[in-house]
Homo-oligomer: A and B are copies of this chain.
């Protein structure tokens, strides 16, 4: 819960607005790309691609809602609805984690146990962050819920990093550097979220809010469209390694 929109300058307002619009374009553009490229990967990887498409479609929907909510607060009837981001994450984060595990193609028991643990941890992370997000910028509640939510956040990153490192030996030669790079990309892009969350604790004014909103939008662009394109690239390279080629 941030400052009233009347406190924003036109530049501040438009920066958030343009980044939200960029997020819509990135989600929809990647969604369109995957619709038509889905059959360019072997059938074994297509479920992961479909999950990407679901994530991008749901995120595009929420970013369209965020865009409208951001503009409509100018009417003074309703405040900006921060809830859209949390509802979006509640659905898309477990899906993104599941597709990552699927594309790594670990053994069945491992896959199931990983997806379950990561899904539970991500739902906890988001549910615990939400009450803090709805608290005023400098409040103790924002700090306390934020710290509690960091526990499942760090657990997820730890599990992902360890498991992806372990899986490196089983990946075909051409894919190793991509999977290895992906570990770091996940670490870096995910770190945007706690930074954006805690910025209003340091700067409770409009600048803090603008950084938070912009930070979340940029993080979502990296963690969804950019991440889904990397998953596609891994699936495409693995398909090529299996001598798969698209039908005429």
Contact = CB atoms under 8 A, between A and B. Distances in A.
Interface of A: 10, 14, 17-18, 21-22, 24-26, 28-30, 32-33, 35-40, 42-43, 46-47, 49-51, 53-54, 57-58, 61-62, 65, 71, 74, 77-79, 81, 83-84, 87-88, 90-91, 244-248
Nearest to A42: B248
Contact of A84 (B21, B35, B39, B90): B21
Contacts of A33: 50-51, 53-54
Q: Is the interface of A mostly helix, strand, loop or mixed?
A: helix
A87 B25 contact: yes
A36 B36 contact: no
Contacts of A74: 77-78
Task: Report how many copies the assembly holds.
Answer: 2
A53 B36 contact: yes
B57 A46 contact: no
A33 B92 CA distance: 13
Contacts of A39: 248
Nearest to A71: B78
Nearest to A62: B25
Given A28-B61, A32-B53, 5 more contacts: A18-B83, A26-B91, A28-B57, A30-B54, A40-B46
Nearest to A11: B134
A32 B54 contact: yes
Contacts of A57: 28-29, 32
Contacts of A38: 36
A43 B81 contact: no
Contact of A47 (B40, B43, B83, B88): B40
A226 B79 CA distance: 31
Contacts of A30: 54
Given A10-B79, A32-B54, A245 B43 contact: yes
Contacts of A62: 25
